[in-house]
Every structure is written in structure tokens, then in C-alpha cells.
Amino acid sequence: MKNCMRRTVTQKRPEDNGISHRLPLRKGLMTALLTASVLISTSGAHAEPALPVLTDATSSIITLEDEHRLGRNWARILRGQAPLLSDPIVKQYLSDLLWQVVPNSALTDRRLELIVLDKASFNAFAVPGGIVGIHGGLITASESEAELASVIAHELAHLSQRHYAQQLEENRRNRPLMLAGVLASILVAAADGQAGTAALSSTLGGAAQAQLAFSRRNEQEADRIGMQTLSASGYDPYAMPRMFERLQKSYRFYGQKPPEFLLTHPVTESRIADSLNRASSLPRPAPLQQSLLYPLVRTRLLVHYAQDLPRLLEQFTAIADGNAAPQARYGEALAALALNRFDTAQAALDALPAQWRKHPYVRLTELDLLLARQQFDAGWALARELRALYPDSMPVRYRFALTARQVGEYRLAAETFQALTSEYPTDADFWFQLAETEGLNGRINAVHLARIEYFMLTGQLDLALRQVQFASREKELTEIDKARLTQKEQEIRALRQQMKEDLS
């Protein structure tokens, strides 16, 4: 059974002497952004160049190893700039979906990292070096798992064909273009699309949309290869044109503020027609067995991004009463819980069909309800039961650790978070929670080490160095502790120099 979810506890991020965890955009990075925007808009956005062949000439500009390093450093900055979705059910579900598609893609370098942004906007992106980003709103914009998978397949096609490297090759003849500029442009749009677009519009006078746009040929190639990947993964290839049509229809509702995905991946009537033609030439696999994972995830995000929870609760109740739709009843439970209407939430959970009631995701919602009602003994018993039943489930273990901490079992909570950070070393939220828990556990040196990792993952290297200094002042440090801190300081300084060279 796939891993399950937990309902997150909102907490402040670790700060040092009042310093926010958000990292301002580097001046050099913004300079690279502006340079890249001008070059792409003048040479790539309005022309139809022949598709370059990826030869040694392209690799001499940016190798796969260079892309990998730059992508990981870029991801550090993104984590410090953009809101990250911390709900493990969404992260686990998208990770499972990604790796269901990857084996059928043309990717040769499969060192991938998924970053899920807590943004209601419809967007997804792939960054050189294997960074795949998905906005939470993309799930709510889709209407089936196949449509969601079609976007992932499309982005993987951009990576497999190294379209970013091709952009560099296209511009090489006119003026050297650093990949950092392309990364910077994606960063601004991913972290704050509105602010990024406004800044570029005032500076470049209309080049904002061109800054990220692939050439039409690259988009067509990503559609073709992505659709093949989609079909090979067991999904209906017609899901891609359906998703395009839905996004295109949504455009008129946005006026001058279309979704970021439409800015970076323009959808036209001809593109939809082309994708329909391609789909007709591909075999339509037998429909995959429908699980409750996709509707459950989508329902959670509908509640998470709701602007009017009472109205959404009424809508879920009306739908569930009308046709007994399980996802609507589950949405009713989630919305009622968020509004502290505990009796309504319990009644909705009780009304779910047996398949849903027994699912670990739903049982974790029951755990949330017990804790919200301050029934801590019952909640702790349920958390332990779920961990025993699903010992390999990342979300269950995460929620177990949070519950353990809430009932005062600090050592057990810290051990669980330590295991999670070991298995998911790039998840910044896990390191944050470990630092918080070790503080309650009384292990101050462990707090410093966890915060050092958190600040490194979020690109806040000065704060990471400061934590090393704080840790070095602690009493009763062993020689091994001192050597570890010295090594960590060297690692941070080397990383800072590398990022300065790569992204400045």
C-alpha cells in the first residue's frame, strides 16, 4: 500500500536573532536574470531556429555534471525563496507518480529531485540538473491522474532533450549566455510569479513572457515525447490535449494574469490540434485501475487552498448528500475539521464507505480530529497503531513523530525524525522538525547540527556558518564533535564559493 499523509502543524521556521528564513534574491542572480531575459526574448522567442543536435559542442557549453551541480545549488535558493508544501501525502503521492512515469521516459540521467511548492497557481517546471517542480494548484486544475501525469511527462521530455542546453547553443553565436540566467528567471517565476513578472516588465518593457518560453519546436518535441512517455506509462495519451484544452479555457478567467504555466508553455489551437493528432496515432492502454489516491489528494488541496471554507463545506455536503461521492464526504470532513466543527467532521468520516474508512490517509485524519479535540491518549494510541501497521510509510512516521512530540515523547520523536532525515536528506521540513524536537529533547548540539543542515538546504549559508560558531561554543564537545563541526564549516565555505561562482 502506498504511503499515507499527515495533516501538518503550522510552525514558524527557525530564525537566528530575528533573521527571517527567507533569503533575498542575490544581486548577481537578478543581473543574470535580466541578461538571460533579453537574450532569450531577442533570439529565441520570436524565431523558429532549426532544432540543434545535442553534440559535443553543446556539452562544451554546459555538461550534464555542470547542469546537475547548478540545479542543486539553484534548488537551495528556491527552498529559501518559495513556500514549500509540507503535507507528506502530497509529496509522497507526487513522488510516486513521478517515478511511475520516469522509467518510460527518455531520461538517461535520472538523478531527480521533486520540489512541491505551496502555491495555488497552475504551474510546473523542470530545471537543468533534474529538479522537477510542481505547484499544488496544478493538482486542483487537473481532473484526472492522467492529466496530471501528462504535465509531468511533458516536463521530463524537456529534461531528456536538454532543451535548456539547446537555448544556450542557440544564443552562443550572438552573446555568451550563462545557465544561471535561465535558472534565475525560473526562480523568480516559481518563488513569486507576480513580482517577477512585474519587475521584468518594468525593466525590459514586454520581455517578461519571452524570458521563459521555449521555442515552438522545443514545445512540440516535448509534447510528442511526453505523450509517448504518458502512453508507455499506462495512461490515455488523450489526457495531454484534454489538459491543454482546460488550461486554454481557463485563460479567459484570468484576463491579464494568466497562470504561469500558460506564460511558459503557450497553448494555442494549433498545438491542441497537433496533440490530438499525435494521440490518435498512439495506442490507448486499458484504463488503469482507479485508486482513491488522486481524488483524496485533490480534495485535500481544494480544502487547503479554499478562500471561503464555510461555502466549500456547504458545497461538499450538498454533493455528498446528492450522490454519496466519497471524495466529497472526505472533503466535508476536512473542511469541518478546519472550521473546528468536530461533530460534523466525525459524522462525515463515519459516513465514508469502508474502503475509505480503512485507508491510512483517512485514519490519519481521524488522528487529527482526536488531537484537535485534545483526546491525547486516544490519539497517541492511534498513532502507535498506525505506525505498527505501516512501518515503511513516510507520512505515517512523520505524523507519529509529531504526535509523540505533542504528548511529551521527545526521544522517540527525535529518533523518528532522525530516520526521516537520513532517508530524505533534502527535505528541509524534516530537518526543521528535527531541530525543534531535539531542543525539547535537551540535545543542544543536535539542534545546532540540524539547523546547519536546514540553512544549507535553504541556501542561507551565512546562517549555517553562524550555527557552526554557536555549536563550537557548547561545553563538553568531544573531539569527534569538534572535527565534525570543522568539516561542516569547510563544506559550507566551499559551497558558498561554488554558488558564488555559479550563480553570480
Which residue is associated with the grid cell 475509505? 356
- Cα(70)–Cα(183) distance, rounded to whole angstroms? 8
Q: What is the 3-state secondary structure (H, E, C) of 341-391?
A: CHHHHHHHHHCCCHHHHCCHHHHHHHHHHHHHCCCHHHHHHHHHHHHHHCC
The enclosing H or E element of 65 equals helix 64-81
Q: Which pLDDT tens digit goes with each residue over 28-70?
A: 443 333 333 333 333 333 333 333 334 334 455 667 787 788 8
Instruction: Identify the pLDDT of residue 259.
Output: 55
Give the separation between CA 276 and CA 463, rounded to whole angstroms.
Answer: 51
pTM here is: 0.80
Residue 451 CB coordination number (10 Å)? 27
Residues ≥6 apart with Cβ < 8 Å to 281: none
Is residue 321 among the annotated active site residues? no
Catalytic residue among 118, 223, 366, 489: 223
What is the C-alpha to C-alpha distance for residues 8 and 399, in angstroms, rounded to an integer?
8
pLDDT tens digits, residue range 115-162? 999 999 888 888 878 889 999 999 999 999 999 999 999 989 888 776
Alpha-carbon span 470 to 450, nearest angstrom: 13
Q: Which among 147, 155, 169, 453 is annotated as catalytic?
A: 155
- The model's pLDDT over 391-430, given as tens digits with 9 standing for 90+, comes to 999 999 999 999 999 999 999 999 999 999 999 999 999 9
What is the rounded CA–CA span in Å between residue 365 and residue 192? Answer: 31
314 flagged as catalytic: no
Residues of the chain with pLDDT under 70: 1-62, 162-216, 250-270, 287-289, 324, 503-504
